[in-house]
Structure 1
């Protein structure tokens, strides 16, 4: 332990903690910051009190606690212990506690002074887990207002982009060197990205064969960095493979297990594995075995996997991203960041030189993002909001956070807590919310447990229902459940087994007391559980996820989101469901349901009546072309029952018309060409005289202002036909002030009066051009084409024959008279001999008659 680089910083760190209460420590992987540092602190006499080490991952927390306890030649729970969600190993003798999963936050909430705590250490803070960010914010507030003597140490492998110094400007800053050996990096991208898992399998097989070209290249890459490398140790070392998730780990484990015998130990490593299975992956293999550890990104930091000399990195990570529009968490498989790539490759150099095989190209490495977005920007924030309300804040801006959350995600979190009656309109914690927080589960599940406790049943029946709610809550929060279908009732027997049953009993004891809870037979509760009870309880937790069948295998949730079930699932044809767990996969339009229950719609009449809302609505009936009124009973956006209303109010009818137009667009109004002309004219007016208060007649502008220009004319409209018969051009014209109307008529006229007295219509186009159709004989004497918009637009003339057929198109009359007109005259003289075709049209009197009538008019 004394050989670790952090040992050189122990003296200055000890001095800094005596003089200051905040320390920022930058220490790369392998420096010993997670092990040697807290172990040394146990022997510093100036630290009077417990030391809390916050680890962002449960696997790391357990592993570090066992390692440090072993170093002290003690059992875990003596001087060194740990607390993770659902598992605690501490005692009165414990001075160093490794905690995670929001445990620190609850410790602070329970004891805001952290009475017997001397130091809180935040490890791997660069990973930016949500619970770490919140824990640091609360600890800083405790230190600033209640415990000036509390010492805070923030440790990170990198400080780039963290903003720690902005949050802790007076903190002492120390930097340690890492202890890592040279790592050779090789790039081998798959030929086809979709086949990356098979490509990964082939690379592992080659690495296990020391005679293969890849294995030789890996060794050569290491020897190039250190010619003294022990080649035999390299070739016999373990292989750590980074994969995006549990699904790919299990797939690859099966493939490799079928190929190799006991000489190769295939070890999965992910968060929901048992501690025994995790320990197997982390420990040194036997002398006759080589180990292949298939891990998620939990192996990126804080964990030392014994014997690893090769890393195979697929370059992918599965990230959960909350979508505020649908209320669903989207699981996306993404490329890792450059920071993660460095962390992963470094795992090959923890104990000796090693090599990292990256399954992407070197060019792509340079295109990776620098670092991943912190969880606070991408996560659902409901639990964090309840933490904040319990702490007494009404906005996350009141907390000293490294990064402010996405505003829409925060707003949705507060709104959900309001709907669950855990906070009031001022975001102040209610009695219901305070009790819910003490249960320590997600606010939705806490609401279910508390509501189940208050259902007006009597005696054992109510206790049975509450016990069932506790079992359901454990299943929803459980990780790594086997696949037994979507129906959550199929998993209830699993909830009666450890460790799920232990958690269910804890919740039940908090609700009805230890003595009464011990009398509950959970196996009997499972036997007597009905779909009606299960559906009702889950609907209390997930009212926005009540689902009605839509199509063959699809459903619409009460929040409007679409979800699907697998075609052969037992629940696939149920008319009503309540969905406890679903996720939207990358590239899918609908979410995939993982846990759900049947829902009996009769519950809306009694037990779930509070979820029902009555709406008087007016909609458009396509079959009749009229607007009709209904009284609807709805759960969220799902219509449960509806009844026609004879005479809707004028206000409701008007609102329905506006909503229909807003939804389907202006084309619904069947606007005529005169509306289009008005819009083009106003567009030109805006260009010529921008200072005038012209209305916005663009499609977006009109849709945004429907109430101001359409609503006043809806007085007697009850059908689509009547709506379309309104004089929309005049109504839009009336939007303009009087001076704008006058300027428009002058600047961009609708007609042009010719010398013959004819008022010829000008047609304006979307590109700003203007066109006027006129008989050629009526343009005689014109030297140039008319202009509008203060000369900005020259009117293009479509010159017509006496039979109104197009002869020519020109915006330059002078050129036309001197050129094309000569050919037109030759052709037209024979076809229309009764009309004038002069040799000098520019100096000829215009006419709209034949030669005979024109000459007669001249003589008279």
Structure 2
């Protein structure tokens, strides 16, 4: 029996419904391309309820934004004559209006992912509709990939429909393997106006000099004056309400203020209402912007790209498009993601302009030239290619995708594969946060707790570990737009000031009252999810840094000097001069400007050293450095407690004996060219004697010059240093003993005969022989040589004798003692006898009997 069809409004998408139903019945998948206003978001889900293959199962439809989710559910309920929560309901991160009899569930993207992770069979769900897939948000790509995997494995009966006005159809076809069904719609003419800001002049219908692209927000060339001028021009040239597209809430607020002033001074004064529309606003403010204008009045809705989606703004016949949007950009080198103002794609521009021609002819004013329009990208860059992938990697791990380098996304199918480097860095971060097993890539118990929380994994870790109202406030503050208003360079850096404002412990003249209330509500909802009471009185804002460290352990920064910090990874960062945090020893940075080499810290909290040590645990390492301390003239072991590149403390210790200590001592020996050793007179003379033999005899006598000993110090000295730890050990080393051990055997035993250390004299005296010069030298009183007829030698070389008087004054130098006796002695004798008459001065000293010491 054929089901009775529900009555449907007469909208263009009706013509495509039979083809869509047939494709879903036949192959289970379809791609619908329909222009804005065709009815795909509101009419198609109602029509699918009557499909035979659906039975009594439900339809889940994804919308990329919370505002669009609520609006779509309300519109469908109105068309079916039901209340929200009956036939049709919706669920967002913060709201749930779904009843027992709900057949159409309109949800935000993350809701589907959570359901799939809990139960991939999706019991009771017969079809999933991905609306506005052209936005290519990361949660949409994840949800689509998981849905396709579930359909391919355990739910072959699950129908999948992707819808958009301007999709990247090639990528969708590759991923879904589905046909493209087109609904032509009923298009109304849109009169195009090109107002490039570079000329400032209207150029109706096209042309115009190429503009210079998106301006820097907050820069000298702000967009707000051009937008205000275009709105005033549009109000004067066309009927109907105006929808203005701006990149962010800051531009919306400034435009609202300037436009109110201009209109108040014009003929339109008192007839035009101005309403902001953005995701950051309250639900009441959003609903007010969507309500039709009262009779006799017009309205201007200042919106972010939130109004590009299936959201309908009734009464709009004019669109003013600034041509800008905020998109996340992730830098794998710094690990930071920031919203960046970019020029919109051509597809986004068409979506925006289409809002003016949904029900009747309209007009669109674009603040760039027609020539520039042709140079813009066709579609927006998918978020998966440019955003932080930490949450994405956490979802993959929960789905069972691990660390396989050959299949980084497992068997999942994505419209665009994520960048390998960004995905790898995301997984490394999750491992550092202890959310993933670093070896397998599987979820840890902490990782599962983090996955259940609707915030970035960093913040989820903090909330999961601390489970306090303070953690919920910090997570919400970091995740949302700053509650302090003003120029970023003029705002205080300290996050704890904001926490104090949220908790009610303090006030601040920069705080936005509406934003404060919104953050409180979000924090209270997050606390409810965690299962804790949100008691503002219990919030201790002085603990902000300690908790922030749980979320950003890699963003700890230690002060080098006031305002200058070293990040844990070794890169530099700074806090503006004059900010109180610039004087703190340690801060945790939640927001930096993205410069990897010298980032500006824009949002941070102070943390004390004890908290750093408690939080870091095993990540803190003692780095030991052995070095010669010039002040102590000794080897010192410096122990630095380090967390990455940050030094937490330092102390000097006496080193323990080890190979490293020996190496450090050996290094000092080489640097001082052996001078640091405990050289004695005996060890020095020994070295000189052997060095003399090496010069005059050669092998087997080793080269004991300083240069040679330095070069071979590892061979002859190192074996004697185990156990040595400093200067005292080097001083106490018997260098002579060490050197003697190096002498060749058995020749070494002849050393005293070859090069005697002392010269033994007939009188019983002995004098040292000096081998430091070219010839061995001995200083001897001439009287001690009486009776010596053969000149003494060393190693076959005559010893150079420095002859001395009884008063040890030089008389003569000779290397031929017999020749001296026979030659000049007679003259020396006369001189000595005159000076020292009491001494004996024989005529022939060679034959004279020496006077023994005991006889003197």
Give the TM-score normalised by structure 1: 0.65
- Gaps in structure 1 of 5+ consecutive residues: 217-234, 454-465, 658-711, 717-860
Q: Secondary structure at the match of 1:604?
A: helix
Question: Which residue in 1 is equivalent to 2:193?
Answer: 186
Structure 1 pair 508/250, CA: closer, same or farther in 2 (3 Å)?
closer
| Counterpart secondary structure, 1:163 | helix
1:115-153 Cα distance to aligned partner (Å, 9 max, x none): 011110011112211111110110011111111111111
How do residues 792-811 of structure 1 correspond to structure 2 at under 5 angstroms? Answer: none
What is the 5 A alignment of 1:496-511? 500=519, 504=523, 508=527
How has the CA–CA distance of structure 1 residues 46 and 550 changed in structure 2, closer, same or farther, with 3 Å as cutoff?
same
Q: How does 1:174-573 map to 2 (within 5 A)?
A: 174-191=181-198, 200-202=224-226, 204-205=228-229, 207-208=231-232, 215-216=236-237, 235-261=238-264, 262-394=270-402, 395-424=408-437, 425-452=439-466, 466-479=468-481, 481-483=483-485, 485-492=492-499, 494=502, 500=519, 504=523, 508=527, 517=532, 520=533, 522-526=535-539, 529-531=540-542, 533-549=543-559, 553-565=563-575, 567=577, 569-573=579-583
- Within 5 A, what are the aligned runs for 1:616-765? 616=624, 631-643=639-651
Specify the alignment match of 1:22 in structure 2: 29
Partner of 1:762: none
Question: Is residue 89 of structure 1 aligned with residue 102 of structure 2?
Answer: no
Q: Is structure 2 residue 56 aligned with structure 1 residue 53?
A: no
Q: Cα gap change, 1:616/1:210 in structure 2, threshold over 3 Å: closer, same or farther?
A: closer
**CA apart distance, 1:41:** 2.3
Write the distance in 2 (CA, Å) between the matches of 1:299 and 1:40.
Answer: 25
In structure 1, the residue corresponding to 2:583 is in which secondary structure? coil
Contact preservation (8 Å) 2:93, 2:454: no
Structure 2 CA distance for partners of 1:200 and 1:602, relative to 1, 3 Å: closer
> Cα offset for 1:714?
14
Secondary structure of 1:632's match?
Answer: strand
State how far apart, in whole Å, the 1-side matches of 2:503 and 2:112 are: 27
Q: Per-residue displacement from partner, 1:174-228 (whole Å, max 9, x unpaired)?
A: 21113331112222222376589666535544643579xxx55xxxxxxxxxxxx
More displaced 10-residue stretch of structure 1: 125-134 or 2-11: 2-11
Is contact 2:503–2:536 with CA below 8 Å preserved after alignment? Answer: no
**What's the offset of the Cα at 1:405?**
0.5
**Equivalent residue, structure 2, for 1:76:** 84
Compared CA separation, residues 559 and 92, structure 1 to 2 (3 A): farther
Judging changes above 3 Å, is the alpha-carbon distance between structure 1 residues 185 and 139 closer, same or farther for their aligned structure 2 residues?
same
Shift of 1:345: 2.0
Contact 1:126-1:162 within 8 A present in 2 as well: no
Q: Which residue of 1 aligns with 2:149?
A: 141
Q: Distance in 1 between matches of 2:427 and 2:230?
A: 53
- Report the equivalent of 2:110: 102
TM-score by length of 2: 0.65
Distance across 2 between alignment mates of 1:136 and 1:442: 20
In 1, the alpha carbon distance for the partners of 2:130 and 2:713 equals 64
Please identify, of 434-443 and 47-56, the stretch whose mean Cα deviation from structure 2 is larger: 434-443
Distance 1:17 1:206, change over 3 A: closer
Tell me, yes or no, if the aligned pair for 1:264 and 1:290 is still in contact at 8 Å: yes
Q: Does the aligned pair in 1 maintain the 2:230–2:365 contact within 8 Å?
A: no
Shift in CA distance, 641/142, structure 1 to aligned 2, threshold 3 Å: same
For the 8 Å contact 2:549–2:615, the answer to whether it is kept is no
Which residue is equivalent to 1:727? none
How far 1:38 sits from its partner (Å)?
Answer: 1.1
When Rg is computed on C-alpha atoms for both structures, the one with the higher figure is 2
Q: Deviations over 1:304-336 (max 9, x none)?
A: 222222222222222221111111113322222
| Pair 713,617 (structure 1): closer, same or farther in 2 beyond 3 Å | farther
Q: CA deviation at 1:438?
A: 2.8
- Counterparts of 1:422 and 1:620 in 2: how far apart (Å)? 44
Cα RMSD, aligned residues only: 3.6
1:161 Cα deviation after fit: 5.6
Q: In structure 2, list runs of 5 or more residues that go unmatched.
A: 1-7, 200-211, 265-269, 403-407, 486-490, 505-515, 668-710, 716-856
Partners of 1:320 and 1:652 in 2: CA distance: 55
- In structure 2, C-alpha distance between the alignment counterparts of 1:165 and 1:551, rounded to whole Å: 57
SS class of match (1:2): coil
Aligned partners of 1:417, 1:479: CA distance in 2, in Å? Answer: 24
8 Å CA contact 1:311, 1:347 repeated in 2: yes
Contact 1:109 1:391 (C-alpha < 8 Å) held by counterparts? yes
- Structure 1 residue 3: deviation in Å? 2.8
Question: Which 10-residue stretch deviates more, 413-422 or 575-584?
Answer: 575-584
Output the CA distance in 2 between the equivalents of 1:475 and 1:330: 16
The answer on whether the counterparts of 1:20 and 1:172 sit within 8 Å (CA) in structure 2 is no
- The CA distance in 1 between the partners of 2:43 and 2:712, in whole Å, is 79
Q: Distance in 2 between matches of 1:650 and 1:535?
A: 39
Change (3 A) 1:59 1:530: closer
Matched residue, 2:805: none
Aligned to 2:137: 129
SS of structure 2 residue aligned to 1:272: coil
Q: CA deviation at 1:37?
A: 0.7
Partner residue, 2:589: 579
